[in-house]
Each structure stands twice: as C-alpha cells, then as structure tokens.
Structure 1
Amino acid sequence: MSATSTAMAYLADRIRDILDGDPRITEKTMFGGLTFLLNGHILVGCRKDGRILLSVGKDNNEAALARPGATQMIHGEKVMRGFIWVDAEAIEEDDDLRDWLTTAERWVAALPPK
C-alpha cells in the first residue's frame, strides 16, 4: 500500500471512529477518494493528500471558508458553493476533525433522505 493510500485509510478510520457506527452513514468511492454519505447525501470525503471535502450548505459557505484551512471546492471551472475543502493541517487533531464533521452533519442531517 502506498503512503498516500495509507494516509487516506488512516483518515477514513479517524472519521469512522468519530461517526461511531451511525446507521445513517454509508461509504462510497467518489471524487478520487472515499466519501461518507449521510442519508444518501455527501457528508465528508477523504482525499489521498489528507484533505477532506465537506458539505456545509450554501447558507453556511462563507462562515466555513472563514475558518483556517478551508478553501472553496471548484469542479472544472464551476464554483461549488456549499462544498469546501479542508487542508490536512487543519484537521490533525481529532477535536478539529470532529468539529468540522459536526458542522457538516448539522447541514446534511436537515436534508430529506435520498
């Protein structure tokens, strides 16, 4: 297993520990990494470079971007408001990762199940 694959597996395990068997969560490979879905909606995705992709909702986009390590998701040339990347350095501590997951969960849990 390569170092990047190992890093992504470690990040995924950290996320699993925080989500702690939530029955609403499923896992799927998307966007070049492992993505955790809550009721069928993207909650958080892991990238091989250690970043995470979070769904925060358009109304929460600017507040999320104001936090350290956050950047806007851009797909092709399209700005994907409501989705942000968080750098690996900003989630090194489990409390920081947990806080980001809680931020995403507040938004995604309010969406109707797919």
Structure 2
Amino acid sequence: MYCNELADRIRAVLAGIDGARGATEQQMFGGLAFLIGGNMAVSASAQGGLLLRADPASRGALCAEPGAERAVMRGRSLDGWLRVDDAAVASDEDLARWVRIGVEYAASLPPK
C-alpha cells in the first residue's frame, strides 16, 4: 500500500503547478498514480517513494542523482520510468522538483 502522507504531499505540489491542476488519480502498480492528460506523471509507490515518468533522454542524468534509479518491473528495466526513494523526497523542495519533472514529461505527451 502506498503512503497516504506522500500522496497528500504530491497533491499539494500539483495544486501549485498550472498545468497539473486538472490531474486525475488512479490506483496503478499498487500505488496511487497522478495523471496529466491521461498519462501517468508520478505515483506514490507501494514500494515507498515515487514511481516517476521522465523523458528517456534524461534518464542518465536523473539516475546519477542520489536516491534515483531506473524502474524495474517484473525483472525488466523500463525506459522513461524512475524510482525515487523516500530520502530523495524528504523535503518539500525535493519532492516538488521530482513531481515537476514527471508533470512536464507527461504534459508533453499526446493526451489519451
């Protein structure tokens, strides 16, 4: 089960981002995902921390940051998906930065 406190913190960040005010919520991958135009941007992960959608071209730089790594599901590494651990989103500023990365990428995709 995902962390309700983290989900509330994500909601607060999304409320302050112009392009994210119409975000919808959906339970996915055991967590609570926040979608922009039907595309997942960020999720309060059931494994703790965030599951984040990001531009695959920026994966290397983002994975070099402390607490971030390429997401692996069912033994398969996923391009454009990151896991960001709890410590990397402990401060509101750090959480907001990661959420914005996910929102910007999701907003750049065609709506579903």
Asked if TM exceeds 0.5, the reply is yes
What RMSD, in angstroms, separates the aligned Cα atoms of the two structures?
A: 1.6
Identity level (%): 37
Aligned to 1:79: 77
Count residues in correspondence.
109
Higher relative contact order (CA 8 A, sep 6+): 2
SS at 2:34 equivalent: strand
Query: How far does residue 85 in structure 1 lie from its aligned partner after superposition?
Result: 0.2
TM-score (norm 1): 0.88
1:42-86 per-position Cα deviation (integer Å, ceiling 9, x unaligned)? 101112443100000211111110111001111112210110000
1:1-114 aligned at under 5 Å gives the runs: 8-20=3-15, 22-114=20-112
Residues in 1 aligned to 2:44 and 2:10: alpha-carbon distance in whole angstroms: 9
Q: Looking at CA atoms only, which structure, 1 or 2, has the larger radius of gyration?
A: 1
Gapped regions of structure 2 (runs ≥ 5): none
SS at 2:102 equivalent: helix
Partner amino acid for 2:35?
L
TM-score (norm 2): 0.89
Query: How far does residue 24 in structure 1 lie from its aligned partner after superposition?
Result: 2.8
Residues in 2 aligned to 1:56 and 1:65: alpha-carbon distance in whole angstroms: 11
Higher alpha-carbon deviation: 21-30 or 98-107: 21-30
Gapped regions of structure 1 (runs ≥ 5): none
Partner amino acid for 1:86?
V
Residues in 1 aligned to 2:8 and 2:31: alpha-carbon distance in whole angstroms: 13
